[in-house]
């Protein structure tokens, strides 16, 4: 499994809210709504 927002924030020395905001922008850019949609999307690109 992937890392939680809290784990990512700790590793990058940023807040969980910043992680959430970055993920939201990334998801909007690639056209998904949640993390669970990311892997299938990537597999379709291959």
What per-residue confidence (pLDDT) applies to 3?
95
| CA diameter of the chain | 32
What per-residue confidence (pLDDT) applies to 40?
93
What per-residue confidence (pLDDT) applies to 41?
92
What per-residue confidence (pLDDT) applies to 46?
87
pLDDT tens sequence across 1-46: 689 999 999 999 999 999 999 999 999 999 999 999 999 999 999 8
| CB atoms closer than 10 angstroms to residue 19 | 20
Q: Check residue 1 and report its DSSP letter.
A: -
Q: Where are the alpha helices (DSSP H) in the chain?
A: 5-12, 16-30, 38-45
As for how many domains the chain has, the answer is 1
Domain range spanning residue 16? 5-45
Q: Check residue 31 and report its DSSP letter.
A: T
Q: Which residues contact 2 (CB under 8 A, 6 or more apart)?
A: 35
């Amino acid at each position: 499994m992937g890392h939680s927002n809290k784990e990512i924030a700790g590793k990058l020395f940023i807040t969980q809210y910043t992680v959430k905001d970055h993920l939201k922008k990334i998801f909007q850019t690639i056209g998904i709504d949640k993390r669970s949609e990311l892997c299938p999307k990537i597999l379709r690109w291959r």
